[in-house]
């Protein structure tokens, strides 16, 4: 099992307030999780930076997570949301009340492959998932409403305000960052206390720094199949020179960039990529580059369609007009 699989299994037991199992996540692989009822939503990032094989691992840990839950109409209800630049509710809380149909639905999820609109995803969770019409139980039932966000990127929209609104509405948010995930954004969206609601791993693969698998008192730094213990986070504010992303690496650190940016030769600062280069955009006519992002436009006389990508010709496009040249002698 990967670290995230173990981590998410631990989260559910943590919510069930079982202190005996809380510190032994490896036991959970063979133990059915008979937790108290939850309305549980997984929000999974399927932006371009999540490779297809990695997204399959995301679906695998969702499947194994379902196996641990006491799924049912009166016990734990599960919903899954998939997001990139758009948001798709794969299935709401009211749809599946047995593990077999849940896992079948998960197997059919396809990545969306562009953008990272995390704020929009959380907003959609409030407006379209945690409603009684979509299967959430009434607030008077005191059934916990829990969101687990799994992302490997930096949000391209604002998350702080919308996450605060979600928490005020009684939604508990866990933030799981993978690879180049922006730690500050994880802090903005997660519930308090942050040290119990934020988790970070370097890859979707197995990590020896998984919870409970190392003896470090403070910081565990993964180095392939081994690990080192450290007491200082070199990526803490003021300890590094990275312009955008700092990644701890074997008692040192390396710099990286947000999606849409590329690392400069100094290995510290970042420059916006030309998002309008061939193969980088899906505009039908005109691509307008904008500091690591882009928008689509149309040729003169054409109108941009609601999909913000394609263009429509003017109504009189079928009439050909020619200029007439008259020679006066």
In order along its 329 residues, the chain shows pLDDT tens digits of: 343 444 554 454 444 433 333 333 333 333 344 457 899 999 999 888 788 878 888 888 788 788 878 899 999 999 999 999 999 999 999 999 999 999 999 999 999 877 889 999 999 999 999 999 999 999 999 999 999 998 887 888 999 999 999 999 999 999 988 877 888 899 999 999 888 888 876 666 544 454 444 555 555 555 444 555 655 667 777 778 898 888 876 567 888 888 777 889 998 998 877 778 777 788 999 998 876 678 899 998 899 999 999 999 877 554 444 333 444 44
Report the alpha-carbon distance of residue 24 to residue 43 in Å, rounded.
25
160, 190, 213: which is the final residue of a domain?
Answer: 213
Domain membership of residue 175 (yes or no) is yes
Identify the pLDDT of residue 190: 93
Domain match, 297 and 177 both: no
Identify the pLDDT of residue 128: 95
Residue 108 sits at the vertex; the CA angle it makes with 73 and 7, to the nearest 5 degrees, is: 65
Domain membership of residue 200 (yes or no) is yes
Identify the pLDDT of residue 1: 36
Domain membership of residue 105 (yes or no) is yes
Which letter does DSSP use for residue 19 in this model? Answer: H
Domain membership of residue 328 (yes or no) is no
Domain membership of residue 263 (yes or no) is no
Which range marks the domain in which residue 299 is found? 275-303
Domain match, 181 and 297 both: no
**Are 32 and 16 contacting, i.e. CB atoms less than 8 angstroms apart?**
no
Domain match, 195 and 282 both: no
Domain membership of residue 308 (yes or no) is no
- Report the number of distinct structural domains present in the chain: 2
Domain membership of residue 220 (yes or no) is no
187, 213, 239: which is the final residue of a domain?
Answer: 213
Which letter does DSSP use for residue 137 in this model? Answer: P
Domain containing 194 — which CATH number? 3.40.50.410
């Amino acid at each position: 099992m990967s670290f995230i699989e173990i981590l998410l299994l631990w989260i559910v037991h943590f919510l069930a307030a079982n202190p005996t199992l809380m510190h032994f996540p490896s036991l959970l692989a063979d133990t059915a999780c008979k937790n108290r009822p939850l309305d549980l939503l997984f929000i999974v990032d399927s932006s371009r930076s999540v490779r297809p094989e990695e997204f399959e691992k995301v679906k695998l840990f969702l499947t194994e997570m379902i196996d641990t839950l006491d799924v049912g109409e009166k016990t734990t209800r599960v919903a899954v949301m998939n997001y990139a630049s758009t948001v798709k509710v794969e299935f709401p809380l009211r749809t599946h009340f047995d593990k077999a149909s849940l896992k079948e639905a998960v197997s059919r999820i396809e990545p969306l492959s562009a953008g990272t609109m995390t704020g929009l995803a959380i907003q959609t969770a409030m407006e379209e998932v945690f409603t009684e019409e979509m299967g959430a139980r009434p607030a008077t039932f005191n059934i916990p409403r829990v969101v687990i966000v799994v992302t490997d990127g930096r949000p391209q929209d604002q998350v702080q305000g919308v996450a605060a609104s979600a928490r005020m509405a009684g939604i508990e948010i866990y933030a799981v960052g993978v690879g180049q995930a922006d730690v500050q954004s994880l802090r903005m969206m997660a519930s308090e206390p942050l040290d119990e609601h934020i988790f970070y791993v370097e890859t979707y693969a197995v990590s020896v720094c998984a919870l409970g698998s190392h003896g470090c008192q403070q910081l565990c730094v993964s180095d392939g199949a081994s690990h080192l213990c450290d007491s200082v986070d070199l990526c803490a504010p003021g300890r590094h020179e990275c312009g955008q992303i700092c990644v701890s690496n074997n008692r040192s650190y390396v710099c990286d960039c947000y999606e849409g940016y590329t690392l400069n030769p100094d290995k510290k600062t970042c420059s916006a990529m030309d998002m309008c280069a061939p193969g980088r955009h899906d505009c039908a006519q005109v691509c307008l580059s904008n500091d690591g992002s882009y928008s689509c436009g149309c040729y003169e006389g054409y109108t941009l369609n609601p999909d913000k990508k394609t263009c429509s010709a003017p109504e009189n496009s079928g009439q050909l007009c020619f200029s007439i040249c008259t020679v006066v002698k």
